[in-house]
Structure formats: C-alpha cells, structure tokens
Amino acid sequence: MHKEIYRGRKARKVALVGFLLNSVLAAFKILAGIIGSSGAVLADGVHSISDFFTDIVVIVGFKITERPEDDCHNYGHGKYESLAAVAISLFLVVVGFQLLRNGLANIVSAAQGEVLPRPGGIALAAAVISIIIKEFLFRYTLNVGKKIKSSVVIANAWHHRSDTYSSFGVLLGVGGAFFLGQRWIILDPIASVMVSLLIFKVAIDTIRPALEELVETSLNEDEIDRIEKTISNHPGVIDFHQLRTRRIGTKAAIEFHLVLDAEKELTSAHEVATAIENKLKSYFTEDSIITIHLEPDISKTR
C-alpha cells in the first residue's frame, strides 16, 4: 500500500508540473498567435489547452488507484489507471483529427488561391519555445512513468511528445512563411497533416496495452515463459498446470496448480510454494498477486 501512495505522489507531482507549464504555454501561444497573425500558432495554443484535461485525468486517476483494497475491489483499484490511459488516448485521437481536418482544409484553400496572412516573429518564437518546453515535459514525464511503471503517466508523456511534433510542424509552416514568402505558407497545413498522422500512431500505441488489460488479456509470451521456467526449474516441483495470468495496473496476477510429491509434508510443500512466489514477485512486483493451489502427485500411488 505504501508503494501505491509513493507512485500516486510521484504521478501527481509530474502531472502538476505539466499542468502549470501547459497553462503558461497555452496562454503565451494564444497571445502570440493573435499578435503575430498566425492561425497555426493560435490553433497550437488551443491544442495545448487539451493538456489540462490529461493532467487532470492523471491527478484524479492516481488519487483513486492508491486507495486500498476494499469489499468491492478485492484486487485493488489498479485498472482505473488503465482506464485513465484510454481516456488520454481518446484525447489524442480528437486532437489528431482536428489537426488533420484543419490541415486538409487549409491545403484546399491554398490550392484555390486563397491568400493567408504572413505570420510575425513572435509566432515563430512561440513555436520554438513550445518545442523546448514540451520536449522537456516529455522526457521528464516519461522518466517518471518508467520509474514507477505507470502506463497512464507514460501515455501522458507521449501526449507531450505529440505536442512537440505539433509545434515542430507549426515551426516549419510559420518559418517557411516568414522566411521564404507568401507562396510557402502551404507548408503549414502540410506539416499539420503529417503531425496528425503521428499523433494517431501514438494514440494507437497507447490505447492498445490499456485495452488489453481491461479485457483481461494474459501476460505476454516472454513473461509467461519466465513464469513457466521459474516454476518447472524449482527443486521439488513435479509438474504444474492451469496457469492463468493477467495484469492489474502495475501488478501481475498469476495463479496455477502446483504438483508436488504426495509424501512431502505440508510445511515443506508450503516452503516450496513460498519460494516460487517470492521468485515471481522479484521478477514482477512485490505487490503482485500469486495464487498457488497445491496438489499431490498421485501417479505413484496408483
């Protein structure tokens, strides 16, 4: 339980840092877009507002996941973390769709000869500053997410990286229009379309493992192979069967039937089961749920 509280505090801290920086960055980009006559920077500022929601999802989500097991949640509240990761992924899809739609519309407008306003220097500066801040948030958040093994924090990190891609696309468009002239403004919508496709990929990569956990998908092949070798290679184990696995937040839930010598005393059998349990927990996490059903080997008694 102490570990969940530690994870929750770390996750909320990194989300709070992101929330504060995103607040300042969004306000600055919106102002720069208005003053610098840049629709791309203005849209990017509105895009940054969506980060508020993902940061709130992380803060609220971890407040729930650190709750102890109760009568209604015997295995804890870990799946709320996966549910939060799904929510962030859906935000990414919405943002990607908006960028794609706006980019295609601007490409059509430019192709029809519509004259778009040339952005000012403040718009270019806003794009550069956005890239620097969002890349910092991505690396900082990803590092914390991997450290506490949190899918939702990692998902939020990739949301920051999607903003870096978005701002880089804006930089290309604004920079092209600013330095190369009016006819190169079409670089902005073209870059926006490319960025939207990258965001869709990030959303898919983020939502897939979260959904797999929510629908009770087994652990991956490498993890199952590690479990099987840990059990079968342990001294005294004759056989095992009915291995079932799933993931609950950062915890692994593993259960199986363990076949031991029928002559083995209960204390010795318990020691074998405990040793296997400890090995599995050292590979996964200490709070993983390992359920072992002991069975006697009756083949020799027949």
Please tell me which of 54-63, 102-111, 131-140, 282-291 the model is most confident about, judged by mean pLDDT. 131-140
CA–CA separation, 181 and 112 (whole Å)? 18
**Identity of residue 222:** D
Residue in the block written with tokens 């939702």: 152
pLDDT band for position 143 (cuts 50, 70, 90): very high
Place of tokens 């900082």: 140
* 186 against 66, higher pLDDT: 186
pLDDT over 60 at 302, yes or no: no
- Stretch(es) of the chain classified as CATH 3.30.70.1350: 221-301
Q: Mean pLDDT in the chain?
A: 79
Nearest-angstrom CA–CA distance, 34 and 264:
79
Is the pLDDT confidence value at 161 over 90? no
Q: 221-301 sits in which CATH class?
A: alpha beta
Instruction: List the single range of 8-22, 120-134, 136-150 with lowest mean pLDDT.
Output: 8-22
Tell me: pLDDT of 154 over 80: yes
CA nearest neighbour of 35 among 122, 132, 94: 122
Render pLDDT for 64-89 as a digit per residue (tens, 0 to 9).
666 666 666 656 656 666 777 787 77
pLDDT at 149 over 80: no
Q: Which two structure tokens, joined as six digits, stand for 228?
A: 């099987």
pLDDT in tens, 202-260: 778 778 877 777 777 778 888 999 999 999 989 988 889 999 988 876 678 899 999 99
Least confident window among 73-77, 86-90, 174-178, 192-196: 73-77
When mean pLDDT is compared across 1-10, 105-114, 185-194, 246-255, the lowest value belongs to: 1-10
pLDDT at 99: 73
Give the whole-number percent of the chain exceeding pLDDT 70. 80
Would you state the pLDDT for residue 280? 92
Residue 298 has a pLDDT of: 74
CATH code of the domain occupying 2-214:
1.20.1510.10
Residue pair 188/175 in contact (Cβ under 8 Å)? The answer is: no
176 and 184 in contact (C-beta within 8 Å)?
yes
CB 166 within 8 Å of CB 43: no
Among residues 261, 242, 243, the alpha carbon closest in space to that of 299 is found at 261
Q: What is the pLDDT of residues 85-134, one digit of tens each?
A: 787 778 778 877 877 887 788 788 777 777 666 667 888 888 899 899 98
Q: For CATH 1.20.1510.10, list the domain ranges present in the chain.
A: 2-214
The residue that leads in pLDDT, 168 or 244, is 244
